Amino acid sequence: MATASQSQAHWFSAASMSDSAKGSGGDSFEKICFIGAGKMAESMITPIIKTGIMPADRVSIYDVSNKTMDRIRKQHEGIQTSTSIPDAISDADLIVLAVKPQNLPAVYDDIHRARKMTADASSGVHLNEDATLLSVIAGKPISSYVNGTGLKKIARSMPNTPAQIGRGMTVWSCTGAVDTDEKVLLKEVLSSFGKEIFVEDESFIDMSTSISGSGPAYIFLLMEAMIDAGVHMGFSRDTASTLVHHTLLGSTLYAMETGEHPAVLRNSVTSPAGTTASAIYELENGKFRTVIKDAIWACYRRSLEMGGHNSNVGPGRPTAEAGVGALQDSMQEALEMVKHSVPAEPPSQEMVLDNDKESGSAK
């Protein structure tokens, strides 16, 4: 028998897929290739096929794990599995990169290998130079994919784990080489597993990584703490989990439907000198807001570092320009101190002789 949480997850997934299917048009990519077939790739493959955006026989996957590819092939009859990246991306007009960041150099090498194989008609490999490359990898900037693959049409996205039930939140951007029609197709693909937001400025993707990308982990930690507290009080873990899951779910839906500021909603629950007020006092006293904001800034900085950007940003962190200015000021102050200081006089000859005598007597 399905649990309440499982039923809710199924309802979410079905609703999202149904909405996406309604918006799908007649035009689509000819072939979609996934390099990497982990959880994020799976969360994209399922709705893409089930909503009819792309039939299974026009989707190819490559993963270093044959076990992973076998599992996906059993779930989606007709899907193509490949033994190499050049074979997988052959004739694809959408290439989805879903590998770990440290594996990108090897992927880049294989794409260049596919380019060389294309020149040999007997290889059976054809790299479509007009293909769009879509990355779901955290931290890596668009320039990395342009330089690494030699392709011009690059889209970078940051989805999150709720995409696995069709309720993801994805922020994405792309190069100017991606035309309007292709943007519509990318939007269709990304909205098949949740909500998508397009941003012209790529820097917002690193920012979104710290809120929506890694955000589920913050919620799960809060969820875990609340459930553990309930168990400590005496609830069974199942009951505590149900209480917490539906409290978080209902509160989120309520905030979305009312459109009210969170502070207004919080005040509506908080009676003067009541139980909620006591709890809020402890949260505020424990710097709950500050810890959350610091965590988000730390995540943002790490995303910048992974992309090779300056991570010296945020509250209390001077910008690079300010840092250089501060260094120049301190150096100038040091020079001024040296300029106006009184130089020490060298010891007189008599002092030297006296010291020699003392040294001799000590011997």
**Furthest C-alpha separation in the chain:** 106
Confidence band for 309, pLDDT divided at 50, 70 and 90 = confident
- Burial (CB < 10 A; 0-12, 13-18, 19+), residue 313, is middle
pLDDT for 25 beyond 50: no
The predicted-structure confidence for 152-188, as pLDDT tens digits, reads as follows: 999 999 999 999 899 999 999 999 999 999 999 999 9
Q: What is the pTM of this model?
A: 0.78
pLDDT at 337: 58
Q: Which parts of 194-272 fold into alpha helices (H)?
A: 203-208, 215-233, 237-258, 262-269
Six-digit token string for 256: 């979305």
Contact 258, 265 (CB under 8 A): yes
For the cut 50, the answer to whether the pLDDT of residue 19 exceeds it is no
Confidence of residue 317 (pLDDT cuts 50, 70, 90): confident
Q: Is the pLDDT of residue 14 over 70?
A: no
| Contact between residue 171 and residue 191 where contact means Cβ atoms under 8 Å apart | no
Average pLDDT for residues 93-109, to the nearest whole number? 95
The structure tokens listed for 277 are 């007020």
d(CA 174, CA 183): 8
Six-digit token string for 78: 């007709």
Q: How far is CA 348 from the centre of its chain?
A: 70
Query: 4-19 as b/e, with b when 16 or more CB fall inside 10 Å?
Result: eeeeebeebbeebbee
CB-CB contact of 106 with 63 (8 Å): no
Count of CB atoms within 10 A of residue 231's CB? 15
Query: How confident is the model over 216-252, as pLDDT tens digits?
Result: 999 999 999 999 999 999 999 999 999 999 999 999 9
What average pLDDT does the structure give for the chain?
Answer: 86
CA distances (Å), origin 22, targets 7, 15, 43, 59, 311? 23, 11, 19, 21, 42
Task: Measure the N-to-C terminal CA separation of the chain; round to a whole number of Å.
Answer: 97
Would strands 168-174 and 153-158 be described as parallel, antiparallel, or unpaired?
antiparallel
